[in-house]
């Protein structure tokens, strides 16, 4: 080998949460790790995903809270001016700090090398290697006992006529604007689209959301309907069961032609169009076919439960696998790769109680099966829905928009799924996940301790509705 070539126990392509979790676990085992990153260290979450979006959502929430203060007797609503350029600069400073502290410096502390360049698999399936075109020029070959593909995913753009020519934003580029859009059309009603829509609306943009079916179609229909009511209340224009026919750029604006549920075409106009129609795994150009790694129709690396690819020396973790695209799933998979590849641990992960949260306000959070999924699985179940009008915390907050739904197995009462649209829904759903992991029934959950005037109490109250009319309870008769 030439002096620039190297050998490692684990070579990793990518530098996000899956990559770092694997690298930390591997170095803790005393193994040598080399990581290759073609762009910015840190991956999606810290750079263009969780951290920047939630930082801006928190700012938007603070402004909205001032504007909504009038719901409390004795308080007057206030309008908070927005210096959007400063807001974005503050977000960028936070991202830079966390990227340096939790990624770049962390790699230095642990002692693994991050190579800046574009990696491509080379060789045959039995003898894979990475050929890296270095960012500063030159080529480096990296050979390893095992390889991890942790290249994440990128926004997927639908083939809408005229869209490419008219121009569009993604969740990444929208958070890099320095001028607040006067108006915005958000195409897509999953978690990214919903968060971005409410974020910009609360900062002062006029926002329209286009949903192919309904808002957050993977969640319970009761949650979709309740969230649509929230958006309407906040003057976000929602078009459900609507398809896009074309987009044109006209006089500095985007004109979108859509087909409504009745079959009619209408035009919508805004300064910007934001595309939030899902994410596609980053596998193009990696040379996977040359080393016998199979990808599916969406480009995701096909993995088993361990999570190894079709080549036993090549593993994949995180968004590139098409598994639930959550940073905590990616990190767990990265650690799993290190254990299985380097120690033969033969571990797997149980995704039954993986929670999911959409950081709208109120937030959406779920764990386990939906009503429809339980039916598809052949499980006889019964469901209860509790409106927040019967939850003391919501009453004192003077905001009863939302609900909690529990799906339980008929006969046993075993909890199969919990779904919520509430403030602090992520905290509530964490407790629900623990209850499901412990195998609790709704009867047992109904008799657990729950602090009064917490949103978590809504979980217990919903469990009580299986046997009790909670509308006839005193406010603290748990």
pLDDT higher than 50, residue 3: no
pLDDT of residue 478: 61
Phi, psi at residue 451, to the nearest 5°? Answer: -60, 135
pLDDT tens digits, 266-306:
999 999 999 999 999 999 999 999 999 999 999 999 999 99
List Cβ<8 Å contacts ≥24 apart for 402-406: 402/226, 402/230, 402/362, 403/222, 403/223, 403/226, 404/428, 404/458, 404/459, 404/461, 404/462, 405/220, 405/222, 405/223, 405/371, 405/462, 406/442, 406/462, 406/463, 406/466
Beta-ladder partners of 356: 366
Average pLDDT, integer, range 223-229: 98
pLDDT higher than 90, residue 472: no
pLDDT of residue 473: 85
Closest CA to 15 of 23, 6, 26: 23
Q: Which fold has domain 163-277?
A: FAD/NAD(P)-binding domain (3.50.50)
pLDDT higher than 60, residue 193: yes
CA 161 to chain centroid, in Å, comes to 28
DSSP state of 228: H
pLDDT of residue 4: 47
pLDDT higher than 60, residue 2: no
Residue 445 CA to residue 443 CA, distance in Å, equals: 5
The answer to whether domain 356-469 has CATH 3.30.390.30 is: yes
From residue 370, how far is each of 221, 419, 439, 463 by CA, in Å? 10, 8, 17, 16
Helix (H, G, I), strand (E, B) or coil at 390: helix
The answer to whether domain 6-154+280-343 has CATH 2.60.120.590 is: no
The domain limits of the chain are 6-154+280-343, 163-277, 356-469
Average pLDDT, integer, range 97-113: 97
Q: Are the beta carbons of 60 and 199 closer than 8 angstroms?
A: yes
From residue 321, how far is each of 151, 190, 294, 315, 330 by CA, in Å? 9, 19, 11, 10, 9
pLDDT tens digits, 306-316:
999 999 999 99
Do 6-154+280-343 and 163-277 agree at the fold level? yes
């Amino acid at each position: 080998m030439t002096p620039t070539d190297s050998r490692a126990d684990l070579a990793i392509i990518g530098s996000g949460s899956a990559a770092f979790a694997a690298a930390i676990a591997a170095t803790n085992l005393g193994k040598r790790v080399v990581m290759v990153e073609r762009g910015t260290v840190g991956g999606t979450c810290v750079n263009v995903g969780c951290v920047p979006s939630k930082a801006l959502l928190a700012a938007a929430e603070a402004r909205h809270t001032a504007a909504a203060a009038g719901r409390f007797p004795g308080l007057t609503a206030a309008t908070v001016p927005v210096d959007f350029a400063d807001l974005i600069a503050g977000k960028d400073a936070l991202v830079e700090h966390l990227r340096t502290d939790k990624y770049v410096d962390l790699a230095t502390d642990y002692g693994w090398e991050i190579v800046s360049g574009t990696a491509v698999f080379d060789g045959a399936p039995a003898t894979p290697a990475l050929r890296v075109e270095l960012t500063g020029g030159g080529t480096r070959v990296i050979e390893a006992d095992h390889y991890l593909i942790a290249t994440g995913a990128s926004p997927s753009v639908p083939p809408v006529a005229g869209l490419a020519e008219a121009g569009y934003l993604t969740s990444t580029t929208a958070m890099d604007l320095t001028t607040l859009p006067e108006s915005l059309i958000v195409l897509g009603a999953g978690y990214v689209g919903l968060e971005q829509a409410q974020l910009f609306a609360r900062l002062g943009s006029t926002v329209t959301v286009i949903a192919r079916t309904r808002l957050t179609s993977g969640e319970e229909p009761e949650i979709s309907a309740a969230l649509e009511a929230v958006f309407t209340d906040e003057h976000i224009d929602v078009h459900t069961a609507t398809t896009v026919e074309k987009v044109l750029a006209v006089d500095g604006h985007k004109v979108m032609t859509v087909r409504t549920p009745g079959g009619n075409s209408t035009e919508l106009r805004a300064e910007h169009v934001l595309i939030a129609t899902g994410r596609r795994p980053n596998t193009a150009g990696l040379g996977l076919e040359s080393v016998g790694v199979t990808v599916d129709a969406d480009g995701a690396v096909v993995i088993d439960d361990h999570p190894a690819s079709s080549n036993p020396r090549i593993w994949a973790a995180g968004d590139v696998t098409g598994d639930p695209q959550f940073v905590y799933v990616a990190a767990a998979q990265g650690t799993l790769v290190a254990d299985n590849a380097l120690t033969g641990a033969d571990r797997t992960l149980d995704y039954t109680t993986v929670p999911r949260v959409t950081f709208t306000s109120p937030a959406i959070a779920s764990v386990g099966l939906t009503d429809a999924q339980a039916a598809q699985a052949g499980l006889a179940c019964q469901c209860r829905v509790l409106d927040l009008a019967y939850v003391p915390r919501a009453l004192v907050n003077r905001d009863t928009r939302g609900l909690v739904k529990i799906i339980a197995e008929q006969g046993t009462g075993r909890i199969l799924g919990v779904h919520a649209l509430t403030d602090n829904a992520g905290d509530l759903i964490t407790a629900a996940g623990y209850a499901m992991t412990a195998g609790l029934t709704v009867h047992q959950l109904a008799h657990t301790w729950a602090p009064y005037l917490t949103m978590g109490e809504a979980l217990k109250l919903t469990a009580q509705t299986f046997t009790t009319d909670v509308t006839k309870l005193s406010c603290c008769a748990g």
